């Protein structure tokens, strides 16, 4: 079974803060040794457009350290509705909105902050909330903790914030070196982000599709964050000319780098499904490419595409032998590990994500791949991703808008459900494929790669036009 990559659609946000407020903290309540003094401040800012808005909420704990929090507030206008949120579990009842912490951001030391956000809709006015609570305490005054803040700063779990690059507008200029934090992919500021982009087809067959004009279009017309380079190992691929294919991959990484996109190097194993069949090839290949690109901050390594017909323990063993090869040259890069049953988290072979949770890869800074094809993989697959995303860092390294063969009509309804889910969970993705193959999953019309024009919608298929619309909406990467 084959799964092409998918892409999510973002709501259009116009510049300009509609509302901003900073609320103090509650005066200290009488406490005992068993009761921590509460205290909080909240900064709420919005950007809006016709009928919709996005909100960023920064919570600062100025009371005692807390482990797990619930933020509450009320929309002042009856027409305001929560649409989708991130970095917390969001819910709305009437005009009351609640955000509950996730595992990775639930602990807040004294004076520590975390930022969450959501997209919303409104009819009528869109005033900012005027009162917030944190764990039931109204954030309206100031308080003194019952225990002093630590005299030494604990090691950060995410990189400390740095000064945003002046005028940096490309995805890499803004986000810099990525790392895994909790279940999210985070940027150089330690903030969860979602990368959206396209995958090549096999570079042995469609190499003419990847040239200056097409990659310029992907970076500037599509505004893609990510370029996935699919290097088949079998199927007339790497095994036929290791040096030649390594050089081709390196050249495409350089092209993505020049345009400020992240480059995902995909060791595209498919048949046979046992990654151990290509273990030595993988070690040789990843030793070469990680040495070449070790100084870059935009390279992501996908070490096995779609394992199938093998156990999770076999995939895990493979990963734990290949990852050290990459780490020897490039200790900071994010590595993505394929999952059982064509990277379906095992669902397509009757399993689920718990086998990974119970026996994770013994390595840091890694994510797990999930693939789907929207016309074939529907609610049960989406439900599994929802469950898995609460416990595992996921990246949809490949998905398609069509059926599992990579062909057929684009199922835009299911694709929209998928991409809305990925947007809400801030899961990155790459759509299959940025090519002109005569099949439903291809973004470009047949024959496009024989010409020189790749911009606009006239050269796009139904799938391509849908994906371009989803990908080119603003990223709004957080930088503080």
Name the CA dihedral angle for 21, 24, 25, 28, rounded to a multiple of 10 degrees.
-160
Beta bridge partners, 164, equal none
Residue 174 Cα to chain centre, angstroms: 15
d(CA 82, CA 180): 27
DSSP assignments along 378-426, one per residue:
-HHHHHHHHHHHTTS-EEEEEEESS-TTS-S---HHHHHHHHHHHHHHT
Query: Do residues 254 and 210 make contact, with C-beta atoms less than 8 angstroms apart?
Result: no
Q: With CA atoms as reference, report the closest residue to 216 among 469, 459, 452.
A: 452
Cα-based distances in Å from 215 to 47, 226, 254, 300: 31, 11, 11, 18
| Phi and psi, residue 305, nearest 5° | -75, -65
d(CA 237, CA 249): 12
Helix ranges (H only) for 142-265 are 171-175, 212-216, 242-258
As to burial, measured by CB atoms within 10 angstroms (0-12 exposed, 13-18 middle, 19+ buried), residue 132 is buried
Cα-based distances in Å from 347 to 109, 344, 354, 359, 360: 39, 5, 11, 17, 17
Q: Which helix (H) or strand (E) holds 299?
A: strand 299-302
Query: Do residues 432 and 402 make contact, with C-beta atoms less than 8 angstroms apart?
Result: no
Helix (H, G, I), strand (E, B) or coil at 478: coil
Helix (H, G, I), strand (E, B) or coil at 175: helix
Residue 357 Cα to chain centre, angstroms: 19
Active site residues: 306, 398
Helix (H, G, I), strand (E, B) or coil at 158: coil
d(CA 372, CA 411): 12
- DSSP class of 113: E
């Amino acid at each position: 079974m084959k799964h092409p990559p998918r892409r999510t659609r973002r709501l259009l946000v116009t510049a300009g803060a509609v509302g901003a407020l900073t609320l103090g903290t509650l005066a200290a309540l009488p406490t005992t040794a068993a009761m921590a003094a509460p205290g909080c401040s909240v900064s709420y800012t919005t950007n809006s457009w016709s009928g919709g808005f996005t909100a960023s909420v920064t919570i600062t704990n100025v009371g005692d350290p807390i482990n797990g929090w619930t933020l509450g507030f009320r929309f002042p206008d009856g027409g305001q509705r929560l649409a989708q949120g991130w970095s917390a579990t969001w819910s709305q009842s009437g005009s009351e909105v609640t955000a509950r912490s996730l595992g990775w951001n639930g602990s807040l030391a004294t004076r520590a902050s975390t930022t969450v956000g959501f997209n919303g809709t409104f009819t009528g006015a869109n005033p900012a909330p005027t009162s917030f609570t944190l764990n039931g305490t109204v954030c309206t005054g100031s308080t003194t903790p019952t225990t002093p803040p630590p005299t030494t700063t604990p090691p950060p779990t995410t990189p400390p914030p740095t000064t945003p690059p002046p005028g940096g507008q490309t995805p890499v200029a803004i986000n810099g070196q990525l790392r895994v934090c909790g279940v999210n992919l985070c940027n150089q500021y330690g903030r969860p982000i979602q990368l959206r982009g396209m995958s090549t087809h096999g570079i042995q067959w469609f190499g003419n599709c990847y040239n200056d004009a097409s990659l310029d279009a992907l970076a500037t017309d599509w505004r893609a964050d990510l370029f996935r380079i699919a290097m088949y190992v079998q199927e007339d691929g790497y095994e036929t000319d290791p040096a030649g294919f390594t050089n081709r991959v390196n050249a495409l990484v350089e092209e993505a780098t020049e345009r400020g996109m992240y480059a995902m190097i995909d060791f595209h194993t498919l048949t046979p499904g046992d990654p151990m069949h290509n273990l030595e090839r993988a070690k040789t290949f990843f030793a070469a490419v990680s040495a070449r690109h070790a100084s870059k901050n935009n390279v992501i390594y996908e070490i096995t595409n779609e394992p199938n017909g093998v156990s999770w323990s076999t995939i895990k063993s493979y990963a734990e032998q290949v990852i050290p090869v990459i780490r020897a040259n490039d200790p900071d890069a994010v590595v993505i590990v394929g999952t059982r049953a064509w990277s379906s988290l095992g669902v397509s072979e009757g399993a689920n994500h718990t086998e990974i949770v119970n026996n994770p890869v013994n390595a840091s800074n890694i994510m797990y791949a999930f693939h789907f094809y929207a016309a074939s993989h529907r609610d049960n697959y989406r439900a599994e991703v929802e469950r898995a995303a609460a416990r595992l860092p996921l990246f949809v390294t490949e998905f398609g808008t069509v059926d599992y063969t990579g062909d057929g009509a684009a199922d835009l309804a299911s694709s929209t459900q998928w991409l809305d889910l990925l947007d809400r969970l801030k899961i990155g993705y790459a759509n299959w494929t940025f090519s002109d193959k005569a099949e439903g999953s291809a973004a470009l019309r047949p024959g496009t790669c024989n010409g020189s024009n790749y911009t606009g919608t006239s050269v796009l298929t139904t799938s391509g036009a849908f994906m371009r619309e989803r990908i080119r909406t603003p990223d709004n990467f957080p930088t503080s």
